Amino acid sequence: MAQTIFDQDIFIAAPIEVVRARVTKLMTSIEEIHPFVIATRHVKTTLAPDGSAIEHYLVRDRMKLGPFPIAFTYRVDMAASPEGRLVSNAYQAPGIHLYNITWCEPAGNGTRVREHIEITAPRLLMKTTYNGAATAHKELFEKLKEQIERGNIPV
């Protein structure tokens, strides 16, 4: 197995409360802003040892692998802390795991959204996995920014 890290951030010209509320509810309409996600299904909610809720989803993606379009389903476990830190684990065959932390910080007259992703994947799939995650999450952040700054926030 190989491991790597991806970090990014973006400034959004909106109050932290607005941005944090949207970030912690990403899965409710992620199909609108994630370039690969075509469907999500909430499976269940469980409680973590600290009493916080962990939401469990099945996510269906569609992407290109070279010239070939492929679709696949994977599991995502996601929890939002009271401070608005979103922690998720995505598990996809064969042995791919993305651990993601997303959080908001006040920045001038708006909010900086930061993301840290740790990727574990079979060595032969690491380049494809990394490039797909980096490309998709950059686009996700750009669309999140556009959505919030235009006030077009799903409920």
Q: What is the pLDDT along the chain (155 residues), one digit of tens a residue?
A: 999 999 999 999 999 999 998 888 888 888 888 999 999 999 999 998 888 899 999 999 998 777 888 899 999 999 988 777 899 999 999 999 999 999 999 999 999 999 999 999 999 999 999 999 999 999 999 999 999 999 867 65
Domains contained in the chain, CATH given: 2-33+78-149 (3.30.530.20)
According to DSSP, the residues that pair with 87 across neighbouring strands are 79, 101
Please give the Cα distance from 107 to 137 (Å, whole number): 21
Q: 71-116 pLDDT, tens per residue? A: 999 999 999 887 778 999 999 999 999 999 999 999 999 999 999 9
Reported pTM: 0.89
Residues 6+ apart with CB under 8 A from 93: 72, 74
Please give the Cα distance from 68 to 71 (Å, whole number): 10
16: left (phi over 0), alpha (psi -120 to 50) or beta: alpha
